[in-house]
Structure formats: structure tokens, C-alpha cells
Chains A and B, each alone.
Chain A
Amino acid sequence: MIKSDFYTFKILRYDAKEPKKDPYFALYKIRVIPGLTVLGMLLRIRDEIDGTLSFRSSCRSAICGSCAMVINGKIDLACRTQVAVFETDTIILEPLPNFEVIKDLVVDMTPFWQMYEKVQPYLVRKSPEPEKEIYQSENDRKKIDQFVNCILCACCYGACPVLNRDENYAGPAALAKLQRFSADSRDERATGVLEKFNNEQGVWGCDTVFRCIDACPKDVRPTDGIVGLRKTLLKNKAKELLGVKEK
């Protein structure tokens, strides 16, 4: 339900080009109508009130992953958040945590992509390619389904308490991506490749407090991925101790 005709948006503003100026909350009062999303309001604020406001946006339909931010204390995509869901007519917007701010709600995603690249986020094949598709059963396809749905919006990265204290931790999105490939029946990466993440900066760093699951707008459960990777690593270790050779 819309709480009043006019809503107050408090937006945390900062410009890394002017480091001497402290971050501050700017206030915008704007008329709302039912059905409007936080992104819709941000666009109107930039158009009609303050052209200097910076935030990212593109698809407006929760698939491109551009507009992750903190909305009244909760991390979510601005495009899929209706203003009417809150019990208040004040909406506070802050940039995604665990990142440096470039300007206002735009954060520097570089560390996120660096971690993503570290997990070798692509299908590794050693066998010669078949003439047609590589067969995959419906069940095997289902095993990677939730991880395939990740839109790399970094909501989970912003929510992760481990990243908050250790910036070298790979983070939920990157590890979920690793599991997406590790669990893909078509992937042929050497089991040793996972060893890189067999440590506190990798799969053992996770506190398993599920903040990433709460934050994910696409119902991906990164913790499932991390736990899956832990199991694979333990299985590999057991095989090694028993002297089972890798194929």
C-alpha cells in the first residue's frame, strides 16, 4: 500500500573525485503513484529534480543486474522493489557495501569481476567436440539450474560478512559460479583446479550464515554451491588417500 502521496527519498551521496567532501544524505520529496518501483522513482528524481544523481540501471526487469543497492537497510535490485512494500513513506538508499564508491550509488565493481575471473568461469573441455551437442540428461541439467540463474548483480557480495573482514575472500557469486561449472556434467576441469579454493580465502572461508541467500534476488543459494564444492574437495581427498587415480 502507498503510505502517502509524497515520499521522501534519502540518498547517500559521495563523489570519489572530491574525497574531502564527506558522504551526506540528500533529501528528495516526490509524488508517487501505485506500482512504481524504487528504480522508477530514482529515474524521476534524476530527470525532474537533480540531474547530478548517479546510479546504474538498464533492463528494469531484474535480469541485467545493474541496480543492486541498499534499500531501507535491505540489499536488493531497485528495479524489482516496489515503493509500496515498505511500512513507511521514507526510503533510504545507500550504495552496495563491501565496495568502494565511485559516485553516489555507483560502486567500483572491479574486485567482484577479478574474483569472478579467478574461478575460471567457463566450460573446460578436453575431449574432442562432438559434431552435434554434448548430451546432458535433464537431471544433470537440473543440478546446475539455480547457479545458471545468477545475474552477477553482486547483491550477495555486498551482503557477505566474510568479505567485510577479508577482501581476499572469493565471495559467494564467484564460488557459486565455480560450482556451476564444477557440477556441470559436461565440464572436464582437472580435480586439482579446485585446490586453489581449498582454503580460508576459498570455500572454507564461508561462515554459512546465509546472508547471500537472503540477498539474492534470483533465488540462487550460493551457500549450496560452497557446500557442494566442499563435498567435492573432501571426496577428492578421500579418493587420493585411498589411492584412486583421477581419470
Chain B
Amino acid sequence: MMLNHDILIVGGGLTGLRAAVGLCDKFNVGLISKVYPVRSHSIAAQGGINASLANNPDGRDDTWEKHAFDTIKGSDYLGDQNAIEIMCKEAPGVVYEMEHWGCPFSRFPDGTIAQRPFGGGGFPRTCFSADVTGHSLLNTLYERAVYKKVKIYPEWFVTALCVDDGQCHGVIVLDMKSGKLIPVRAKVTIFGTGGYGRVYRNSTNALINTGSGIGMAYKAGVPLKDMEFVQFHPTTLIGTNILMTEGCRGEGGYLLNNKGERFMQKYAPSAMELAPRDIVSRCIMTEMEEGRGFEHPLGTYIQLDLRHLGEKKISERLPGIRSICIDFIGIDPVKEPIPIMPSQHYSMGGIDVNEKGASSVKGFYAAGECACVSVHGANRLGGNSLLDTIVFGKLTAQAIEEDLPKSKLKPKEKPLLALKKEMEKKINALSQPGGERPYMLAADLGAVMNEKVGIFRTKKELVQALDEVIKIKERYKKVSISSADLHMNFELQNALELENMLDVAHTIVLGALLREESRGAHFRRDFPKRNDKKWLKHTIAKRSKKGEPLISFKDVKITKYQPMERKY
């Protein structure tokens, strides 16, 4: 059995759905997702989506150019300025479009979409739907996909991307319900597979965010970009690391150390708690390292204090945060400060694509968090990730709509059938008893990444991390799963994803080791300054024939904003 589509989309989050909705009228589109689309991690985004609507009375002078400047500065000048300009220009249009499709945005008294301030933004331009903006947007796009009758394959798990002779032919997919391994042939394959948070032990990300789509593309020969840039969110609940939206601070929440001080005053006197995430995360770590944190059996923490906002505002604007705190740590933020710590949150790096979502492989596109255009550079601003997913889902669809009718791409059966055989062999090998269970390796990987490739980095630790990742890759060759069943076998899925996670981690560590400067979220204690002369460039990682990452570099695209010192 071979399934055929003109366009195959992998990923049922905002990016995949937006691309599908844009293409399904004209082409034979199939959308594959390893979970039901509304379970995708876009659902967990809380705070909002940036667009210069200028609805907020304090933000009437906002323009897309100002949004672009904030994003470029926030990116520590590593973002490609042409792409950032495109994204910010598109922003109001896509927000209105989502609203027209039914997105239940919160409202201002005049009936317009409500907007609040977010970190690193000069204006209150983050549009929101209470504190469940991702949930509202994803449901709206799924609803739109239902309306458009998009062909969706839920709980189909992609195991490999088929690239042969410089062209993408499709994927090999496992139907988790039937347990069948199915080759899917397509002229164009689009990945909207999400980020790589789960290579870290502590992450706000869903368990499904393994980055395996990125690893799969890399394995098939697609280059990755800026993998060392990993965002650590300043405010995640201790223990579970569930996200406490930046909207908490956008609505006026304070960060307090054990002396009761709003310590951000020392580090970012004008932006205070609303400095960009990389900066706030480092400040929190510094406070904790210097003994000004609070102690708890679950770890050292800092307080996120919302009490002064009052019950009414908290219930209206941050109801989700309130119920998460009550359910998961037994604290009501109306009465007590929230114990938080920074943890992994977002993948700035990803599959190297241009502003049309195109990679260097013919017929293969990527957008959203799995891709790196790059619009976030070295540090993403809050409210720009939802924007990225929808804008580039849309623009990728538009580019394909223009190019595909002219294209002579003919995806072939033969490489797909060969790859299917290879996957069957691999699964068979994994099912041989006697080896280590995959979770042990995943746990070791998470620990290494957490401890040695975190917020503060040094050459010594990165060298150790590299060594350890390579050792875990060796151990992977002898991993064993409990059952050879192919249906609803989550251990098999974990084992297959783990191989990709190891590749992804390898590129992160190597990128971090080579980049001897500090920029955005990548902070080297041994090179604490940004070095534009040497390092104002993207890191490109390509897999060698032997399986090692080969690193090269690419220029950053600068339109009119010359790099300046970043002060908040």
C-alpha cells in the first residue's frame, strides 16, 4: 500500500493546520499528526500573539516597524531582518483573519481585540484570549480545517523522511491504531513538527515535543540552523515546570527574592520584570546562585507575586494560571506568591529554511518552531511564537501554491519502498531483547542537557556534554523495547524518537561549544560579551555520511538596523 498526496503536511499544530487550510482548496492535501490535532503543543501557549493593532490606549502609536525593531533587538541581532519585517507586517492581517474565523479574543471595552504588554516589547501589542491564547487559536484553526474538510490522519506517527537525489519523496508513517507501516508519497512535504524541548529534563514543553521532526530532517540531509539557541522561560512552576505565562508579568506581576526585593531593578531598571526572557532568566539564576532564592523540597525558587493584582483581575485575565497553581502545587495566587524557576521553553534553532519555508532540499518545506527562518535569532520575544507559526504556515502555503503548478517534481516510489524496508529492519532490531530500555538513555540525555547545556555555559562543561551525548549515541545502538507490536506501542515510538533526539542534542551541544561569545539565550561564562566581528552569523549543522554534524556558517541578513548594545 502506498498513499499519495500532492502535498503532505506533518504536524497538526498551528503551522500545519494553517498551511493545510491555505492549500486544501487547490491541491490534494493530507495532514498527518501523531496526536489528534487539538492535542498539539500549540494548545499550551498562554500569553498571546503580537500584532501592532494599536488597540490599547497606551499603544496608539504602535506600527509594524516598531514591532520589527523590538523583535530584531530582542533577537540580539541574530534574526534575519528581512524575514522579521515580513512577519511583523503580516501580523495584523493574520490576527484579524483568525478573529474572522472565530478566535474568541479577549476584548477592550470598545469591542476591539484586547492587547497587553509583554517582555521586550515597547508597546502593549500582545493580543490574547484570557491566558489560553494557544488553545483558542488552535481550536479556531482546527474548526477552520473541519469547515474546509481537510484530510487529516490523526495518530499517524512519521518514522522517517525520504530524501533521495536531492529531492523529497514523502515519509514512512506508522498508523498507530492499525499498526501498519505506510509509505506516503508527495510532491511536497511540509514539516510543522514543533520544537525540541524534551531533550532537556526540565522543560515547559509537552511530552510530544521531542524535536524528532527536526532530527528526521537532519538525518535525511537537510541542514539545521542556530541549534545552540535554546530559550529558557523565566517563570515555570517548580517541580513540574508548567509554564506561568509572561502575561503574569504583563498584567503587573512582580518577581521577588528572599529579601522581598523586586530584584529586576538592579538588572533592567526601565523594563523591570518585562525585560526579554533571556535576561530575566539569567537574573533569576544569579539571584538563586547568590543565595537570594527560597528553598523547597522541589528545588530553589523565586517568587512570582500576583497578589496585588487582586482576585478580579486574576480571575479574568489569568484564570488558567490560577487553576494550574491550585491543581498542581496547591497554591492560590490570589493569596500566595507562586514559586517559580526558569526552565527550557522554546527552540529558536531548527530546520534551515527561507522566508517561504523552503529548505535546500527540493520539495521539502518547514515552518513554525521546528524551522529556523530565522525570525527569533538568539532570543525570541514572548508573543512572537504563535505569530511565527501562523504567518509562516500561511506564507509557506502561498509559496507552494505559486510554485507547485510550475514544478516538474515527480516523487518516486522506489526510495520510499527502500526506506520502508529500512524502518522495518530498524524496528525489528529494537525489538531484540537484552539491551538497555530507551527511557534510561532519555533520562541521561535530559540530565546532561540540563546540567551542562543550560542557561550559563562553559567550554569545560560543553566538552563534557559532547562526550556524554556521543556515548549515549553509542549505547543507543543496543537499545531494546519490550514488544514488537506496532499498534499503540508508545515505547516503540519513544525509542524511534530518541534516536532523533540524540542527533538534535548533538547539534545543540556542538553549536554551543563552537560559538565563543554570549548572544541572547546562549551565554558563555568564559566569553561573556557579544562578538559581532566574529559571530554575527548563523550556525549551520549538516549531517556527514558518518553521522557527525558538520558545522558551517551563514551571514545574517541586515536591512536597516545595525547591531547596537542591548539595554532594557
Chain B residues within 8 Å of A, Cβ to Cβ: 35-36, 38-41, 43-44, 53, 95-96, 99-102, 104-113, 129-130, 132, 135-136, 139, 143-144, 146-147, 177, 179, 206-208, 239-240, 242-243, 297-298, 320, 323-324, 327-329, 437, 439, 481-483, 485, 487-491
Beyond contacts A123-B143, A184-B102: 15 other A-B pairs, Cβ-Cβ < 8 A, are A52-B483, A54-B490, A58-B39, A59-B206, A59-B207, A60-B242, A64-B35, A64-B206, A102-B487, A102-B488, A103-B487, A123-B101, A131-B96, A135-B111, A137-B111
CB contact under 8 A between A52 and B437, given known A80-B327, A109-B36: no
Residues in chain A near residue B112, CB distance under 8 A: 132-133, 135
Interchain CB contact under 8 A, B146 and A58: no
Question: Beta-carbon contacts of A86-104 to B below 8 Å, as 1s and 0s?
Answer: 0000000000000000111
Residues in chain B near residue A51, CB distance under 8 A: 437, 481-483, 491
Residues in chain B near residue A102, CB distance under 8 A: 177, 487-488
Question: Beta-carbon contacts of A33-69 to B below 8 Å, as 1s and 0s?
Answer: 0110100000100111011101111111111111000
B264 to chain A, nearest CB (A): 26
CA distance in complex: A80, B242 (Å): 12
Residues in chain B near residue A141, CB distance under 8 A: 104-107
User: For residue B104, which residue of chain A has the nearest CB?
Assistant: A148
Interface positions, chain A 107-151, Cβ under 8 Å from B, are 108-109, 113, 116-117, 120-123, 125, 129, 131-138, 141, 144-145, 148-149, 151
CB contact under 8 A between A58 and B41, given known A51-B437, A63-B320, A103-B487: yes
Q: Which 5 A-B pairs have the closest CB atoms?
A: A123-B102, A51-B482, A135-B111, A47-B439, A51-B491
Residues in chain A near residue B487, CB distance under 8 A: 17, 102-103
State whether the Cβ of A220 lies closer than 8 Å to any Cβ in chain B: no
Interchain CB contact under 8 A, B324 and A61: yes
Residues in chain A near residue B482, CB distance under 8 A: 50-52
A158 to chain B, nearest CB (A): 16
Identify whether the interface residues of A are mostly helix, strand, loop, or mixed: loop
Interchain CB contact under 8 A, A136 and B111: yes
Residues in chain A near residue B35, CB distance under 8 A: 56, 58, 64, 66
CB contact under 8 A between A103 and B36, given known A63-B135, A137-B111, A186-B102: no
Identify whether the interface residues of B are mostly helix, strand, loop, or mixed: loop
User: For residue A61, which residue of chain B has the nearest CB?
Assistant: B242
CB contact under 8 A between A144 and B104, given known A61-B242, A133-B96: yes
CB contact under 8 A between A117 and B146, given known A52-B491, A62-B327: yes
Residues in chain A near residue B44, CB distance under 8 A: 59, 61, 63-64
State whether the Cβ of A152 lies closer than 8 Å to any Cβ in chain B: yes
CA distance in complex: A186, B96 (Å): 13
State whether the Cβ of A175 lies closer than 8 Å to any Cβ in chain B: no
> How many A residues have CB within 8 A of the partner chain?
60
Residues in chain B near residue A43, CB distance under 8 A: 207
Residues in chain B near residue A66, CB distance under 8 A: 35-36, 39
Residues in chain B near residue A184, CB distance under 8 A: 102, 104
* CB < 8 Å neighbour of A35 from B139, B298, B320, B437: B298
A50 to chain B, nearest CB (A): 7
Residues in chain A near residue B329, CB distance under 8 A: 35
Residues in chain A near residue B143, CB distance under 8 A: 121-123
State whether the Cβ of A106 lies closer than 8 Å to any Cβ in chain B: yes
Interchain CB contact under 8 A, B208 and A58: yes
Residues in chain B near residue A64, CB distance under 8 A: 35, 38-41, 43-44, 206
CB contact under 8 A between A57 and B207, given known A52-B485, A129-B100: yes
Residues in chain A near residue B206, CB distance under 8 A: 58-60, 64
CB contact under 8 A between A60 and B490, given known A123-B101, A125-B100, A141-B106: no
